[in-house]
């Protein structure tokens, strides 16, 4: 029994995953999740010494699904024949504890009552999960895209001794003000829908207009100007940009839960590793001991290479590995056949580095 029913967040749509109760999670901003459940998908087998683990963190609106379908598998850098790969869906993802599914012991924080969660809370929860549930103390690699990159950076700074290698893709260690405003526009598209009712709607379908406008803003910022100009959506067999919106971006987002998206967005807006060091990004990133490849996407409109490179220069011994993809940020979906071979090449090289 969840707060509201949304069939999108199910095994039918997301395949196999386990729900692990890691117990009470006290949050950085003062709230509490009484029973924090993390949705976890694993691939491969842990070595006897637990020294072959890779953690994958997830992005806004994304889950383990895209990692399973595109990034993980034999022949990829994230190869389950070699590594034990743990993908943890973030709090608010709709699969892990989230506003829409808060029930039972979490009934008190359902829907609009869900507390503010920070990137650091996710990372603390993931560390507990790995240690207590899987017996994993050290990670061969932490990798994630977008908000997953925020979590990756948080791991690098918060638990430097536990991360041997790190690959933040298309994301930053400290969220930029432009990104904050972009996310604000996304949020307002949702909350301005009269059907949102301050978060106490009966179904995500009540907020479909707001979710559709939210998808429309993603269309502007998520892909590059060139993606639209070259009509790259034709490769996905759509007839027009309107058909692509209606057949791809809109169904993708309108299936989701508004409060869940807002929970993730609040985190995204405030991702900032310099919270550990009194606001000094230089000092925070200076703590990193993981071998790090910073991997922005060249056409990304809101995590531009320039911002990622500025941070990369603060990470000792790191390298900048720019991924070329005309899709821009949503190149993360791995639609372009040239995208994943680049990611694989960089990750393979990173995993091959002695640390």
Chain residues binding a copy of itself by CB under 8 A are 176-178, 180-182, 184-185, 188-189, 192-194, 209-210, 213, 216-217, 219-221, 223-229, 231, 241, 301-302, 304, 306-307
* Distance of closest approach, residue 242 Cβ to a copy of itself, in angstroms: 10
Q: Which of 122, 257, 260, 300 is catalytic?
A: 300
Residues 6+ apart with CB under 8 A from 348: 77
Q: Is 51 a catalytic residue?
A: no
Nearer to a copy of itself, 11 or 229 (CB): 229
* Distance of closest approach, residue 229 Cβ to a copy of itself, in angstroms: 6
Nearer to a copy of itself, 44 or 222 (CB): 222
Q: Which of 61, 96, 98, 146 is catalytic?
A: 146
CB atoms within 10 A of CB 320: 16
| Token output for 182 | 């972009």
* Distance of closest approach, residue 165 Cβ to a copy of itself, in angstroms: 28
How far, in whole angstroms, is CA 205 from its chain's centroid?
Answer: 24
Overall residue count recorded for the chain in this entry: 355
Residue that is written with structure tokens 């950085």 in the block: 28
Q: Are 141 and 347 in contact (CB under 8 A)?
A: yes
Dihedral class, residue 237 (left if φ above 0, else alpha if ψ from -120 to 50, else beta): left
Nearer to a copy of itself, 40 or 190 (CB): 190
* Distance of closest approach, residue 210 Cβ to a copy of itself, in angstroms: 8
Q: Is 300 a catalytic residue?
A: yes
Q: Is 329 a catalytic residue?
A: yes
Nearer to a copy of itself, 130 or 215 (CB): 215
Q: Which of 14, 64, 214, 329 is catalytic?
A: 329
Question: Exposure pattern of 236-257 as b/e (b: 16+ CB <10 Å)?
Answer: eebeeeeebbebbbbeebbbbb
At 111, phi and psi to the nearest 5? 55, -125
**Residues marked as catalytic:** 146, 300, 329
């Amino acid at each position: 029994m969840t707060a509201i029913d949304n069939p999108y967040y199910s095994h039918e749509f997301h395949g196999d995953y386990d729900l692990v109760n890691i117990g009470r999670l006290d949050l950085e901003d003062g709230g509490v999740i009484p029973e924090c459940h993390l949705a976890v998908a694993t691939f491969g087998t842990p070595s006897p010494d637990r020294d072959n683990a890779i953690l994958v963190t997830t992005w806004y609106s994304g889950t383990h699904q895209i990692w399973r379908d595109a990034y993980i598998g034999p022949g990829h850098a994230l190869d389950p024949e070699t590594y034990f790969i743990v993908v943890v869906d973030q709090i608010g993802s709709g699969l892990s504890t989230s506003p829409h599914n808060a029930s039972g012991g979490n009934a008190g924080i359902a829907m609009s009552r869900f507390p503010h969660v920070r990137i650091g809370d996710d990372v603390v929860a993931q560390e507990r999960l790995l240690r207590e549930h899987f017996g994993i103390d050290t990670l061969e690699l932490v990798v994630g895209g977008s908000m997953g990159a925020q979590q990756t950076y948080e791991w690098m700074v918060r638990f430097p001794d536990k991360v041997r290698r790190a690959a933040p893709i298309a994301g930053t260690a400290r969220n930029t003000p432009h990104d904050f405003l972009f996310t604000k526009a996304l949020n307002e598209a949702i909350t301005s829908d009269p059907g949102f009712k301050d978060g106490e709607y009966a179904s995500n379908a009540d907020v479909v207009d707001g979710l559709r406008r939210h998808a429309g803003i993603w269309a502007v910022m998520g892909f590059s100007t060139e993606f639209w100009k070259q009509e790259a959506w034709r490769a996905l067999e759509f007839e027009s940009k309107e058909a692509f919106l209606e057949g791809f971006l809109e169904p993708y987002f309108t299936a989701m839960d508004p409060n869940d998206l807002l929970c993730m967005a609040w985190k995204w807006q405030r991702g900032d590793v310099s919270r550990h060091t009194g606001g000094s990004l230089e000092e925070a990133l200076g703590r990193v001991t993981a071998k790090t490849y910073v991997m922005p996407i060249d056409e990304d409109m809101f995590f531009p290479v320039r911002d990622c490179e500025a941070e990369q220069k603060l990470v000792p011994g790191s390298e900048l590995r720019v991924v070329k993809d005309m899709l821009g940020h949503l190149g993360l979906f791995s639609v372009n056949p040239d995208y994943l071979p680049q990611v694989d090449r960089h990750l393979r090289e990173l995993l091959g580095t002695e640390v």
